[in-house]
């Protein structure tokens, strides 16, 4: 085993440090963590609260439901954290997490991820600390932690040495702007359905053509938005 520095360092700011590494400690990401391919540092935002009750939130100005993370406490937590790579704030209002953003982040050296809770964070801290808002989809979670785990899972599997075969990354959904083709494995005949003959033909050109056709047909049928971006004017 070599003792190279990790190629990606993640710092997560959260009110629930116990949620980490969670699923990131298992399987592919967990093995990579053990091997030192990436590193993870979880910091409790509450540790930056200064009052007796360790208050991290307060009522929203102007009224309304819920609570808001205080800018002074969150800024102190950010300032005390290592600054490697961009500072992200998990937020349903953010830039959608896409495979290209995942690749951009995976290029290193790492990132800082703020996981909010309650109604979110005071708007001023977003600008003052240059937080880039990232959303994992058009739905609302109760906290940023599951979103951060999703983001890191996607980034870590692309780091050099994490996935068994590099090729399995290149043909996947969203790489090249298309969804992935269907997969089959033995038995050749299962519940009356055969594996498409071309996949058993040994004809690599024909197989590549079949995969590409399936990718295009699936993308066209299921994700007209992706298809439009891939083949402008051909919808």
Residues that bind ligand SAH (CB under 6 A): 90-93, 115-117, 119-120, 135-137, 139-141, 143-144, 147
Q: How far is the CB of 12 from ligand SAH (least distance, A)?
A: 12
CA–CA distance, 27 with 152 (Å, rounded to integer): 13
For residue 69, give the 3-state DSSP assignment. Answer: strand
Nearer Cβ to ligand SAH, position 108 or 143?
A: 143
- In order of 23, 76, 114, 224, 225, the CA distances from 55 in angstroms are 29, 13, 17, 47, 44
CA–CA distance, 15 with 199 (Å, rounded to integer): 50
For residue 58, give the 3-state DSSP assignment. Answer: strand
Q: How far is the CB of 74 from ligand SAH (least distance, A)?
A: 11
Q: How far is the CB of 104 from ligand SAH (least distance, A)?
A: 17
Nearer Cβ to ligand SAH, position 93 or 209?
A: 93
Nearer Cβ to ligand SAH, position 6 or 122?
A: 122
Nearer Cβ to ligand SAH, position 132 or 211?
A: 132
Secondary structure string (H, E, C) spanning 195-215? CCHHHHCCCHHHHHHHHHHHH
Q: How far is the CB of 94 from ligand SAH (least distance, A)?
A: 6
């Amino acid at each position: 085993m070599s003792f190279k520095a990790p190629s990606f360092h993640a710092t997560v700011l959260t009110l629930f440090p116990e949620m980490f590494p969670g699923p990131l400690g298992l399987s592919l990401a967990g093995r990579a963590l053990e091997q030192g391919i990436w590193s993870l540092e979880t910091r409790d935002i509450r540790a930056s609260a200064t009052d007796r009750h360790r208050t991290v939130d307060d009522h929203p100005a102007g009224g309304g439901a819920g609570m808001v993370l205080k800018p002074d406490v969150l800024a102190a937590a950010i300032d005390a954290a290592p600054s490697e790579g961009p500072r992200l704030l998990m937020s349903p209002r953010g830039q959608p997490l896409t495979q290209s953003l995942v690749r951009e982040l995976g290029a290193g050296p790492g990132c800082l991820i703020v996981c909010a809770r309650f109604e979110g964070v005071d708007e001023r801290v977003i600008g003052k600390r240059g937080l880039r808002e990232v959303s994992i989809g058009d739905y609302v979670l109760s906290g940023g932690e599951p979103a951060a785990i999703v983001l890191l899972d996607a980034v870590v599997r692309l780091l050099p040495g994490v996935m068994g075969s590099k090729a399995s990354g290149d043909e996947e959904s969203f790489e090249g702007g298309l969804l992935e083709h269907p997969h089959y494995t033995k038995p050749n005949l299962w519940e009356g359905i055969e594996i498409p003959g071309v996949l058993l033909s040994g004809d690599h050109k024909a197989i590549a053509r079949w995969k590409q056709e399936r990718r295009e047909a699936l993308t066209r049928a299921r994700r007209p938005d992706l298809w439009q971006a891939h083949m402008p004017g051909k919808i």
